[in-house]
């Protein structure tokens, strides 16, 4: 675009609105459309299926139209008790995200602002933990959790196992690595002068962290919070293996309630999946900007 | 994960060797932490916030009955228990598939006092690992349980670990209206079955509906052919890894099956059992070998049109008296928090009173207790109960009668391969035998 202005004899802006249609451009757009449809197709298919009655699709097959109904949504909501399980998801997600961000920002602050020998090792440790396959830790964690007692007022299981506390801890532990990595890179990019000025004014370390760094990190924290809410909300594995009481399952695990012992109504499961996906979609559309920023955050070191 | 080299290694993977130690240590930790936990172990009750002291009026139950109807029936049975004993049951319902996949974790973690499970190898396995409690004393108080059910509830050590509550048979289902229309007769022998199927083909029906997309329905066909050709004991020994898959006996089973395959619905690997059942319901197929749950695919007004017969005799010396009838029931955790209440609950769920409640509320299942008032049964249920009652032996279905890893990693792909290429029986049986040797190694 700028090349036109540089050559000097570019026509005024309104006149150069249409560019000639080149084959490469056509190919590009066909490709983009195909990819977009490829990504959207499963979701649209699920939505379409969820709006049709099982009786109709059983007779006419899924490649047909008709049998429209909203009953699947009502049934899914009721049989899988999504109301209760969504609340369970909130119990796990909200504290886990807040705790992750708090702890990660503390570590990131130290890594970014103080130069001491273990700095790189510390960052490496947190990042490496990210690469560890979670499933490999199942047995040790499971045994650990069945050995750690909790007082009865914290969990009726009286153990870390089968308690919200345990799930929150697991999620915090697994998400901290990524957040530390992102936040420390972000904090390193903050101007040093600020801290020098703060120190001259006699601000303590805590103050430098809480009142100087944290407000400046707001965009990074917002982006991370968006990502983390989605990830922790979507988390399914730990919630299935470290929970024993069906009523305490978060909404992702309780989606299984829609599968029958012998018979699974796929239309009903589709409706349930759409319901479960809605909160993530809402978060995404509300905080789209943060979301996209979150993806590139920490990619470059300021 | 690599395949375990030995039986012991396999078991050690399922049950970490440190479990025993773990329990001891966690008990100590519990004692240090609160002291309260010492007496009762770590098996705290579920769901309710009752203090330990009031444990005498509660008991917890882990339930896999997550489908709406069975869930409701379970709740009614538990209400009945509360009314008769004053003990409240805290039911922890986990969906059927998750419950099954998590059973190892569940039993080693902090299981409910009583939990629902299956008879057969799957029960004996956990009983053998010491993860379930001996229920012989509950059994001595039970009446109305047949010997076949007692046998199915007994562990390898001769003690009972399981209280059966309900079951369903596998049989060949058909629509009476279709059979009347064409004048078909129930076949008594394999020859008659083949003749009948050929007739159906002529009449434009798929003779035998068939589906194996999910992998397990074909096990039913294998089981029944094996039971008819080689008998019950061979089935049990084959499933326990004691008999060879390359033997002539197994080859005969596959050979017979190969002869029947052209009479089955083609392209079965891309079909779910629901779709196969619907072809029966839509009168496109003549008959279908499946469990009683096939009725779920029929509308209420079609239920009376559904009938069945047991798979016909193949070898007169073996007869046609054995069948697959998976039994569901209850077991007790190794260290229940409220043991007395748990035993009371188990005695209740095996009793006539509980069976009566089930009969009254659920038309899709049969109750184990023979003293139950079965006047509420539908014609189909009554016939199914008679069929199982007259059975000399009850098998539990292939995947309940053998090791889970053998059933899912060896048998499912093998049967699917057989359906795809029925010609190579030698190659197939050799491959199963080789894989079997690496799984059953003791």
Closest residue in A to B19 (Cα) is A143
Looking at the domain assignment, is residue A202 inside a domain? yes
Cβ–Cβ contact B164 with A under 8 A: no
With CA atoms as reference, the chain B residue closest to A265 would be B274
Using CA atoms, how far apart are residues B395 and B428, in angstroms rounded to an integer?
24
* Residue B155 distance to chain A (closest CA, Å): 25
Secondary structure class of B286 (helix, strand, coil): strand
Has residue A13 got a pLDDT over 80? no
Write the pLDDT tens digit of every residue in A148-162: 888 888 888 788 888
Tell me whether residue A136 is in a domain: yes
**pLDDT tens digits for chain B (442 residues)?**
455 555 555 444 444 433 333 443 444 443 344 333 333 333 333 334 444 444 478 999 999 888 878 888 999 999 999 999 999 999 999 888 888 888 888 898 889 999 999 998 889 888 988 999 999 999 999 988 888 888 889 988 999 999 999 999 999 999 999 999 999 999 999 999 999 999 999 999 999 999 998 888 999 999 999 999 999 999 989 998 899 999 999 999 999 999 999 999 988 988 888 889 989 998 999 999 999 988 878 888 888 899 999 999 999 999 898 889 999 999 999 989 899 999 999 999 999 999 999 888 877 788 988 888 888 888 888 899 889 888 888 899 998 888 878 888 899 999 999 999 999 999 999 999 999 999 887 6
Please indicate, yes or no, if residue A199 is contained in any of the structural domains: yes
Kindly report the three-state secondary structure assignment for every residue of A232-260: HHHCCHHHHHCCCCHHHCCHHHHHHHHEC
Nearest by CB to residue A244, choosing from B34, B109, B273, is: B109
pLDDT confidence of A300, banded at 50, 70, 90? low
The overall longest dimension of chain B from CA atoms, in Å, is 78
Inter-chain touch A146–B47, beta carbons under 8 Å = no
Domain ranges for chain B: 43-167+327-377, 170-324+403-439
Report which DSSP code applies to B93.
E
Q: What is the pLDDT of residue A219?
A: 84
CA of B98 to nearest chain A CA: how many angstroms apart? 7
Question: In this predicted structure, what is the pLDDT of residue A7?
Answer: 46
Residue A49 resides in a domain: no
Yes or no, beta carbons of B93 and A244 under 8 Å apart: no
Contacts of A240 in chain B (CB under 8 A): 98, 102
User: How, if at all, do strands B285-291 and B206-209 pair?
Assistant: parallel
pLDDT of A14 reads: 53
Q: How close B160 comes to chain A (CA, Å)?
A: 26
Chain A CB contacts of B105 under 8 Å are 142, 241, 244
B97 touching chain A per CB within 8 A: yes
Q: Report pLDDT for A5.
A: 43
- Band (pLDDT 50/70/90 cuts) for residue A15 is low
Q: Does B1 touch chain A (CB under 8 A)?
A: no
At the top level of CATH, the class of B170-324+403-439 is alpha beta
Cβ of B37 and A158 within 8 Å? Answer: yes
CA distance A85 to A67: 29
Tokens of A100: 């992750």
Of A58, A244, A257, the CB nearest to B278: A58
The conformational region for residue B35 under phi > 0 = left, psi -120 to 50 = alpha, else beta, is left
The burial class, CB within 10 Å (0-12 / 13-18 / 19+), for A10 is: middle
User: Region A79-92: what's the mean pLDDT?
Assistant: 90
Give the position of tokens 């080789």: B434
Is B378 within 8 Å of chain A by CB?
no
Please give the pLDDT value at position B27: 40
B15 vs A240 pLDDT, higher one: A240
Closest CB to B44: pick one of A158, A247, A260: A158
CA distance B385 to chain A (A): 20
Phi, psi of A237 (to 5 degrees): -60, -60
pTM check: above 0.80: no
- Chain A contacts in chain B segment 398-417 (CB below 8 A): none
Pairwise CB contact (< 8 Å): A263 & B274: yes
The answer to whether residue A13 sits within a structural domain is: no
Contact state of A247 with B47 under an 8 Å Cβ cutoff: yes
CA–CA separation, A249 and A163 (whole Å): 10
Separation in Å, CA of A40 to nearest CA in chain B: 25
Cβ separation of A244 and B111 shorter than 8 Å? yes
Task: Give the pLDDT confidence score for residue B47 in this predicted structure.
Answer: 39
Residues in chain A with CB shorter than 8 Å from the CB of B16 are 139, 143
The pLDDT tens digits of the residues spanning A168-187 come to 999 998 898 889 988 988 89
Domains B43-167+327-377 and B170-324+403-439 share a fold: yes
Q: How far is B46 from chain A (nearest CA, A)?
A: 7
| Contact residues on chain B for A139, CB-CB shorter than 8 A | 16
Q: Do B110 and A151 touch (CB under 8 A)?
A: no
Across the interface, whether the CB atoms of B110 and A142 are under 8 A apart is answered no
What confidence score (pLDDT) does residue B38 get? Answer: 31
Scanning the structure block, which residue is given the tokens 């109750």?
Answer: B367
Q: Best mutation site among B12, B32, B46, B118 for testing chain A: the one with the most A CBs within 10 Å?
A: B46
* Contact B46/A at CB under 8 A: yes
Cβ-defined contact of A149 to B47 (cutoff 8 Å):
no
Count of domains forming chain A: 1
Q: Do A260 and B67 touch (CB under 8 A)?
A: yes
Chain A residue with the nearest C-alpha to that of B38? A149
Could you tell me if residue A42 is inside a domain?
A: no
Judged by CB atoms closer than 8 Å, whether chains meet at A142 and B291 is answered as no
Is B16 near chain A, with CB under 8 Å? yes
**ipTM for the assembly:** 0.72
Q: What range defines the domain where residue A185 resides?
A: 74-296
Measured in angstroms, the CA of A270 and the nearest CA of chain B are apart by 17
Identify which of B118, B129, B170 has the alpha carbon closest to the alpha carbon of residue B11.
B129
For chains A and B, CB pairs below 8 A equal: 105
Rg (CA), chain B: 23
Superfamily of domain B43-167+327-377: Periplasmic binding protein-like II (3.40.190.10)
Tokens (6 digits) for B231: 């008998």
pLDDT of residue B45: 36
The predicted pLDDT at position A295 comes to 64
Res A69: pLDDT: 87
Yes or no: say if B200 and B172 are a contact pair by the CB < 8 Å rule: no
Which CATH number do you get for residue A89?
Answer: 1.10.3720.10
For residue A27, the tally of other CB atoms under 10 A from its CB is 10
Residues of A whose CB is below 8 A from B51: 152
Asked if A146 and B46 come within 8 Å (Cβ–Cβ), the reply is: no
Q: In the structure, what pLDDT confidence band is assigned to residue A252 with cuts at 50, 70 and 90? A: confident
* Inter-chain residue contact B67 with A261, CB threshold 8 Å: yes
CA distance A291 to B349: 54
């Amino acid at each position: 675009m700028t090349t036109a202005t540089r050559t000097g004899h570019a026509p005024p802006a309104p006149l150069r609105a249409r560019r000639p249609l080149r084959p490469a451009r056509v190919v590009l757009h066909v490709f983009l459309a195909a990819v977009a449809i490829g990504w959207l197709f499963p979701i649209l298919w699920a939505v379409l299926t969820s709006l049709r009655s099982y009786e109709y699709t059983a007779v006419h097959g899924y490649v047909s139209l008709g049998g429209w109904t909203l009953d699947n949504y009502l049934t899914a909501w009721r049989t899988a008790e999504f109301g209760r399980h969504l609340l369970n998801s909130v119990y796990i997600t909200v504290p886990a995200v807040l705790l992750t961000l708090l702890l990660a920002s503390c570590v990131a602050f130290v890594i970014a602002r103080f130069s001491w020998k273990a700095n790189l090792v510390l960052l490496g440790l947190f990042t490496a933990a990210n690469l560890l396959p979670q499933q490999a830790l199942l047995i040790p964690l499971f045994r650990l959790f069945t050995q750690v007692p909790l007082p009865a007022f914290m969990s009726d299981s009286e153990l870390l196992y089968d308690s919200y506390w345990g799930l929150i801890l697991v999620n915090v532990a697994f998400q901290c690595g990524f957040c530390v990595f992102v936040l420390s890179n972000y904090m390193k990019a903050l101007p040093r002068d600020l801290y020098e000025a703060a120190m001259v004014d006699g601000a303590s370390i805590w103050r430098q962290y809480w009142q100087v760094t944290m407000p400046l990190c707001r965009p990074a924290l917002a982006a991370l919070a968006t990502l983390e809410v989605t990830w922790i909300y979507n988390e399914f594995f730990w919630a299935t293996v470290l929970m024993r009481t069906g009523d305490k399952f978060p909404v992702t695990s309780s989606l299984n309630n829609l599968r029958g012992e012998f018979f699974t109504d796929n239309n009903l499961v589709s409706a349930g999946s759409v319901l479960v996906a809605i909160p993530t979609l809402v978060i995404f559309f509300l905080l789209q900007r943060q979301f996209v920023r979150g993806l590139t955050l920490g990619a470059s070191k300021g | 994960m690599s395949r375990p080299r030995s039986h012991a290694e396999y078991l050690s993977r399922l049950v970490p060797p440190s479990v025993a130690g773990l329990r001891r240590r966690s008990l100590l930790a519990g004692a240090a932490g609160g002291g309260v936990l010492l007496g009762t172990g770590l098996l705290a009750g579920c769901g309710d916030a009752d203090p330990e002291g009031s444990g005498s009026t509660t008991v917890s139950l882990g339930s896999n009955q997550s489908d709406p109807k069975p869930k409701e029936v379970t709740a009614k049975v538990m209400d009945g228990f509360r009314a008769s004993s004053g003990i409240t049951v805290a039911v922890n319902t986990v969906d059927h598939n998750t419950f099954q996949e998590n059973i190892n974790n569940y039993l080693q973690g902090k299981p409910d006092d009583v939990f629902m499970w299956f008879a057969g190898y799957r029960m004996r396995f956990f009983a053998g690992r010491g993860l379930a409690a001996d229920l012989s004393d509950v059994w001595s108080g039970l009446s109305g349980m047949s010997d076949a059910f007692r046998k199915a509830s007994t562990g390898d050590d001769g003690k009972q670990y399981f209280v059966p509550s309900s079951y369903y048979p596998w049989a060949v289902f058909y629509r009476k209206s279709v059979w009347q229309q064409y004048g078909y007769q129930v076949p008594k022998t394999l020859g008659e079955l083949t003749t009948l199927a050929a007739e159906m083909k002529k009449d434009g029906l798929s003779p035998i509906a068939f589906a194996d997309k999910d992998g397990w329905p074909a096990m039913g066909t294998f089981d029944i052919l094996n039971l008819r050709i080689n008998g019950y004991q061979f089935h049990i020994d084959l499933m326990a890894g004691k008999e060879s898959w390359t033997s002539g006996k197994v080859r005969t089973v596959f050979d017979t099956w190969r002869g029947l395959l052209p009479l089955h619905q083609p392209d079965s690997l891309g079909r779910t059992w629901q779709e196969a059942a619907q072809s029966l319901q839509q009168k496109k197929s003549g008959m279908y070998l499946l469990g009683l749950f096939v009725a779920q695919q029929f509308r209420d007004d079609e239920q009376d049109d559904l009938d069945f017969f047991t798979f016909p005799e193949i070898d007169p010396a073996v007869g046609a008296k054995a069948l697959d009838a998976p039994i569901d029931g209850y077991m007790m955790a190794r260290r229940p928090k409220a043991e007395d209440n748990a035993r009371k609950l188990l005695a209740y769920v095996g009793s006539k009173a509980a069976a009566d409640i089930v009969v009254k509320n659920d038309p899709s299942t049969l109750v184990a207790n023979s003293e139950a008032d079965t006047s509420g049964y539908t014609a189909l249920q009554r016939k199914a109960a008679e069929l199982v009652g007259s059975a000399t032996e009850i098998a539990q279905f292939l995947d309940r009668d053998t090791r889970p890893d053998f059933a899912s990693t060896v048998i499912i792909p093998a049967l699917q391969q057989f359906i795809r290429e029925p010609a190579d029986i030698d190659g197939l049986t050799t491959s199963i035998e080789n894989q079997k040797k690496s799984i059953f190694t003791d």
